[in-house]
Amino acid sequence: MSERLGYNPESNPKEQPSERAGEILTNALDAVLNTAGLSSIRNIGVGLRTAYDRAQTISREIASGERTDGFMQEYFVNGFKETWDKLRMHEGATTTDKILNAIDSLTVALNYGNIALGQSKKSIDSTDIDLALDGLETQPA
DSSP state, residue 40: H
Nearest one of 59, 89, 94 to 74, comparing CA atoms: 59
Global pTM reads: 0.54
140 burial type by CB count under 10 A (0-12 exposed, 13-18 middle, 19+ buried) = exposed
Q: Locate all alpha helices (DSSP H) within the chain, ordered by sequence.
A: 17-35, 39-64, 71-72, 79-87, 95-123, 126-137
The full set of domain ranges for the chain reads 69-137
**Residuewise pLDDT in 10s, the chain (141 residues):** 444 444 444 555 455 566 667 777 777 777 787 777 777 777 777 778 888 888 999 999 999 999 988 999 988 888 888 888 888 888 888 898 888 888 888 877 777 776 666 655 555 555 556 666 666 666 665
